[in-house]
Each structure stands twice: as C-alpha cells, then as structure tokens.
Amino acid sequence: MRHPIRRSLAPLLVLACLAGCSGTPEDRINAAVPVARDVDTAHADIAGMAKEHAEAVKAVEDEYRGRLKVRALTCAAGFEPSLFADEESIRADVGNADCFAEQDARLAQWLGLRRVSLLLALPPLRPLPAKPIELVTGEEGMTDVAFARNAGVMAMQWKGHVRVVDLATGDAIHDEDTGFRGGLTLSDNGRVLAVGSEDLVQVRSAETGDVLLTIPEARMGYVQFLGERGLVFLRTRKSEIVVREFATGDETALPFEAFLLNGALPVAGKPDTFLLLSPRRLALLELHEREAPRLARELAIEGSGGGWGAASDGFAPGPDGKLYAAAGTGVKVIDPATLEDSVIPFEPMRITRVVPTPKADELLVTGSGGRSAATYLYSRSANTLAPVAPPDNAYGAATIRYVPSLRRNATVANLRMALVDIEAGAPQPAADVLDALAFDVAIAQSEQAALRERLLEQYGNRASTPAPTGADAARREVQRAEERARALVAQRDAERASAVPRSGKDGIVDALNSGVLRLGTVSDLDAWKRLYVSKTGRRINDTFDNFTRSQDIYIITREFTVPEGLTGSDSATFILERGAPYPRGRNQHSAILDMKSGGCTGNMCGFLLHDD
C-alpha cells in the first residue's frame, strides 16, 4: 500500500526541481554566478550583428557557450549542485569570486576582439564622397587627425577630446571627451578607432564611442589594424612589435626592430599580407590560418624622413600604389608587394620630406642645400622642379599631407583641416635648379672656410704666436671652394651656349620630344580667346580664326627658346601656359598668346586682332 503523504509531496518536488535544477551543472553554476555586465553587454552587441554576420555570429555563440562551460568548471573546482539547490545556495557553496572575475576579464577581452573583427568586416561607416567638404574645424588646436582609407570619415583630437566627422557634410558622427591625448588610428572602413595614453590604448566604436577592447602596455598612436584578422601594436614594456589575432587572442612578437609603428597597409592582391611602416624600415607581414604570423621580407632606408602620418613623410603611399620616402639626396620609390626600390636623384639637394599629390607623376619635395630649404613640385615625366610657396602662405607647405581616400592634398594646422590644391611657380628643368643649388653649396662652403680661416687667424693673434698651421689648410680650402664655384658657373654658361635650338621645324620637334612644348588644340585657342575678350572687352575677328586655323598650335610649358626660321609656312601659333616663363628668341611671324594676361606678342598680333 502506497503512503498518501509521499504521493502528495511528489508533484511539489517536481515543481521545485523544474524551478531550480534545469540544465547542466555548469549552466546552473553560471546562472547562479552571472557574467559581469561588460561581458553581457559585449555578448548582446555581437548577437545584434546576426543580420549582417549570420554565420560568424553563430560561430561566436557556439564558442561563447563553450567558454562559459570552462568558466564554471574552472571556478567551481569539481562542485556539482544538488538536484534541489537554488541559485543562492549554489552561489554560497561555490564562492571563488576572484576566479569568476578573472574568467570574466578573459571573456570580455575575447568578446572585444570578436566585436572588433565583426565591425571591421562591415561596409564603410560613410561612403567616400564625390565632393568632400573642403574645410573641417576643431577647437583649441588639433593635435592629431586620422583618415579612413576606404570611407568618407576622419577623426580629429584636441586636449583629450575626439570627434569623428562625416567628410561629405562636416557633421560630427560622434563627439566625446575620452581623456586620452595620444595619437589616433582609424580603421579602413571608418568604424573602429584606437586612442590611448602613454601606456594604454582603447579600441572603440567610431560611431558610438563604446569601448570594445583595452590593450595595456601599448604605446599610444601605434596600434594598427590588420583587416579583419587582427591588430599589431608596439608594447612599451619590452619595446617589441606584437600581433594579436582576433579569432584566438593569440599574441606573436615579431623580430622587427622599430621604435615606432606608423602604419600597416594591405598589399593589393594579397589579402593576408600587410606592409608594416616605421620611420626607417619596412616589413611584409604574412598571416596564416594555422601558423603564427611571420615577416616575409624587410627593407631599411638610410636617411629616410620622420614618422609616416601627420607630416606625411617617412614612407608615404601615393595614388599609384607606390611608397615614397626621403632618402639622403634622393627619393626612394618602393613597390609594396615586393619591396623592390628605385631612386629619383636630387644631388646635391638633401631631401627632407616627400609628399605625393593626386597626380601620380608629381611629388611635393622639400630639400635643403646651400643656405636654406625649399619646397618644389617635381614632375617625373618632364623632370622639372616648380617652386611652391613658402610655409608662411595660406596653408604652409610644411603641413601638407596626401589623403589617399580622397585623392587630395590636405593641411592640418591649428584649428582646421583644409583640402588644398598645390600652387606652384613656373617649372624649370631639374638640372638647372640643382646646378644653381650646387653653386650655392659651393659658395656656402667657401664662406664657411673663410670664417674658419678668420677664427684661426684671430686665435693666433690672441695667443701672440704665429697662426697655427691649420690656417694654411683653411686658406687652401677657400681657394678650392672658389675654384669649384667658378668651374660650375663656366660649365653652366657653356651648357647654355651649346643649347641653342635647331632652326625651323627641327627645333619644334626637339622641344616636343623634351616636353617643353606640347601640341595644342582648337580648345586651347578658344580658352585664350575667352580670356582676351574678358580682359579687353573686344571681340575676336574672323581674320584671327581664318589665319590660326591653318597653323600648327603649340603650348609652351616651361623655359623655351623660339627657333630661328619660323617664317612663312613654317610659322606657328604659341600659347604660353599660365606660370611658364616668357620664351627667349625671336618669334618672327609667330604669335605668342599669353594665358595669364590674355595678351598677344609678335609681329602678327596687329594683323590678327585688328578691329573690323
């Protein structure tokens, strides 16, 4: 016979078990000791990305459950709750709060890495604008800016404040006082931002400011993203370059000797290869699925400029995909995929900065020699140097950088970032500029030697003794410097004397081949006609059109001597390009039309432009 009391207790016991003993022992332990709030928030944020990353989020969920099980097994140390234990009693029996806190910190770090990886795989935060805003202003003096390579987003910083800006409108996407004053790094898609202090870096959502990841002992401003695979940073304690992989959290120290880490550029055609940039070294970094990251090749540049970044010197990426670096008396041109390099020589000019421009053929170079430094716009195809306004003009050459995402040059100074077009003077053959610089260098050396001689003589007089034998050596050095200067002048005069152009059409062909002239079109003539009308208020008569229609048209691009013999049927119409110097020689029956003033010079101008 069954006991009636036992029969009546059975349903109550079942209900009690359903309320407190559902799931595995690990599930019940984790329910009794829930994860920390930051872990829960990070997990919920990843779950919210399921629409964009269904498979990736499912994989994270599966691994998250596994890590929760490890959390419970590690901290409960073999404890299994009884069938009828509730959460309060389980929590009291397990204890070990320090262990759970440590496990939660590891969970938060792992989830942070996964969140960063998922954000980096999303489309750009803002598309690249067809017409970016020309001016972005900050407050109290910007200390750093960063541009996304594949998104219309920039980040700017001043006195611990960070603002993320939409480059199409200039509006703030996110504005926050972070308290950090270190450098900035912005991901290629503009969604992830790294900012830090002296020995700690936070990785944040650029859109919301949420802290995704904290990296202790990382040097501020030197965290770089490796696509969706990981990040690389400079660890301050050991002064080593470290790769941290998003999928596993594994760290690998690289044998890369660098005291700064200025960039990590993806290599075209190689999705798992990145180019690490430091002030004087480059390295190709390869990431592998089942192997540790490794360096494939390195390249050291002696005499290269400073850090790549705000000043755009060091290794600067150009619109052609190449890297450019100041290297002694030349500019290094480097292929990122192979690290093969070539040199554009500028001797005796010592190149201190090189900045790409939107035209792959042109570089902005700053060099020193003689008495002062100067900045030029260098054309690689024409081999010319055109002077650029000094730093005290509207934007200041020393602050110019190239922004690859916008294919524009920009300046960052004081309270603003401004997009600029480089304004240069008339281009001159690079050989002429460098010869003149060599002359200045020789003169400067002569003056220095003379100064040393005077000091030696003064030293000898003060000592009331004959001048030291070093004075004779200084005097000979002065003489040699003066002889070199005279030789350079004579050489330049001889070269110019021998450079008399061939006559007639042969001289025109030579000028076309050297790039001094280029073939003009009716459109070029129409442009000058519009300028002439706007400047004089007079109309162009039919005589001009009928005559020039039968002639060859040439555009003068730089220093040019009009060949002899351009008369009769060999005469031509020349258009002087804005900024080009006025040509030497006699233009005879050829008209020269000035695109700066709208004027016309030559014997034919009165005939061509007479009033009806």
Output the DSSP codes for 126-155: SPPPSS--SEEE-SS---EEEE-SSSSEEE
Residue 358 forms part of a structural domain: no
pLDDT at 464 over 60: no
Separation CA 193–CA 151 (nearest Å): 13
Q: Please, which residues have CB within 8 angstroms of residue 393's CB and are 6 or more apart in sequence?
A: none
**Same domain, yes or no, for 268 and 287?**
yes
**Same domain, yes or no, for 180 and 198?**
yes
First to last CA, the chain: 135
Q: What's 294's domain CATH number?
A: 2.130.10.10
What is the predicted pLDDT for the residue at 312? 34
Instruction: Tell me the per-residue pLDDT of 265-310, one tens digit each, with 9 for 90 and over.
Output: 999 888 899 999 887 788 999 998 888 999 988 888 765 443 333 3
Residue 384 forms part of a structural domain: no
Residue 393 forms part of a structural domain: no
**Same domain, yes or no, for 297 and 406?**
yes
Scan for tokens 């009828």, then name that residue. 84
Q: Which of 113, 185, 188 is nearest to 150 (CA)?
A: 188
pLDDT at 229 over 70: yes
Question: Is the distance from CB of 457 to CB of 471 less than 8 angstroms?
Answer: yes
Output the DSSP codes for 190-224: S-EEEEE-SSEEEEEETTT--EEEEEETEEEEEEE
Domain that holds residue 343: 135-347+401-419
Q: Please, which residues have CB within 8 angstroms of residue 308's CB and are 6 or more apart in sequence?
A: 262, 263, 277, 279, 314, 315, 316
Separation CA 178–CA 483 (nearest Å): 63
Q: Which of 188, 219, 189, 187 is nearest to 201 (CA)?
A: 219
Residue 190 forms part of a structural domain: yes
Separation CA 337–CA 209 (nearest Å): 35
Separation CA 431–CA 551 (nearest Å): 33
What is the predicted pLDDT for the residue at 304? 43
Neighbours of 600 (CB within 10 A): 18
**Same domain, yes or no, for 558 and 529?**
yes
**Same domain, yes or no, for 68 and 84?**
yes
Instruction: Tell me the per-residue pLDDT of 188-222, one tens digit each, with 9 for 90 and over.
Output: 999 999 988 777 889 999 999 999 998 888 877 67
Scan for tokens 């805003």, then name that residue. 133
**Same domain, yes or no, for 216 and 323?**
yes
Q: CB-hemisphere CA count at 13 Å for 183?
A: 20
Q: Please, which residues have CB within 8 angstroms of residue 193's CB and are 6 or more apart in sequence?
A: 146, 155, 162, 164, 184, 185, 186, 187, 203, 204, 205, 206
What is the predicted pLDDT for the residue at 612? 61
What is the predicted pLDDT for the residue at 37? 92
For residue 235, what are the β-bridge partners? 218, 240
Instruction: Tell me the per-residue pLDDT of 121-156, one tens digit each, with 9 for 90 and over.
Output: 999 999 999 999 988 877 765 567 889 999 999 998
pLDDT at 185 over 50: yes
**Same domain, yes or no, for 458 and 409?**
no
Put simply, whether the predicted model's pTM sits higher than 0.75 gets the answer no
| pLDDT confidence bin for 417, thresholds 50/70/90 | confident
Structure tokens given for 110: 């792992």
Separation CA 214–CA 313 (nearest Å): 29
Q: Which of 193, 314, 206 is nearest to 263 (CA)?
A: 314
Burial classification of residue 164, based on how many CB atoms lie within 10 Å of its CB (0-12 exposed, 13-18 middle, 19 or more buried):
buried
Residue 389 forms part of a structural domain: no
Helix/strand/coil (H/E/C) assignment for every residue in 533-601: HHHHCCCCCHHHHHHHHCCEEEEECCCCECCCCCCHHHCEEEEECCCCCCCECCCCCCEEEECCCCCEE
Residue 125 forms part of a structural domain: no
| pLDDT confidence bin for 498, thresholds 50/70/90 | low
Mean pLDDT calculated for residue range 492-521: 77
pLDDT at 419 over 80: yes
In angstroms, how far is CA 589 from the centroid of its own chain?
Answer: 51
**Lowest-confidence segment of 107-116, 146-155, 464-473 by average pLDDT:** 464-473
For residue 374, what are the β-bridge partners? 367
Domain boundary among 498, 520, 553: 498
Structure tokens given for 435: 């010869």
Domain boundary among 87, 120, 153: 120
% of residues, the chain, pLDDT over 90 = 32
pLDDT at 98 over 70: yes
Scan for tokens 């590891």, then name that residue. 106
Separation CA 155–CA 13 (nearest Å): 61
**Same domain, yes or no, for 72 and 177?**
no
Question: Is the distance from CB of 226 to CB of 246 less than 8 angstroms?
Answer: no
Residue 258 forms part of a structural domain: yes
Question: Is the distance from CB of 279 to CB of 234 less than 8 angstroms?
Answer: no
Question: Is the distance from CB of 261 to CB of 277 less than 8 angstroms?
Answer: yes
Strand-strand pairing, 240-245 and 230-235: antiparallel
Q: Which of 243, 260, 257, 246 is nearest to 299 (CA)?
A: 257
% of residues, the chain, pLDDT over 70 = 81
What is the predicted pLDDT for the residue at 485? 59
Scan for tokens 């220093």, then name that residue. 559
- Number of folded domains in the chain? 4
| pLDDT confidence bin for 438, thresholds 50/70/90 | confident
**Same domain, yes or no, for 291 and 315?**
yes
**Same domain, yes or no, for 201 and 311?**
yes
**Same domain, yes or no, for 165 and 305?**
yes
Domain boundary among 419, 445, 474: 419
What is the predicted pLDDT for the residue at 489? 56
What is the predicted pLDDT for the residue at 446? 67
Mean pLDDT calculated for residue range 378-389: 90
Residue 377 forms part of a structural domain: no
**Same domain, yes or no, for 477 and 515?**
no
| pLDDT confidence bin for 257, thresholds 50/70/90 | confident
Strand-strand pairing, 330-334 and 323-327: antiparallel
Structure tokens given for 246: 């998003």
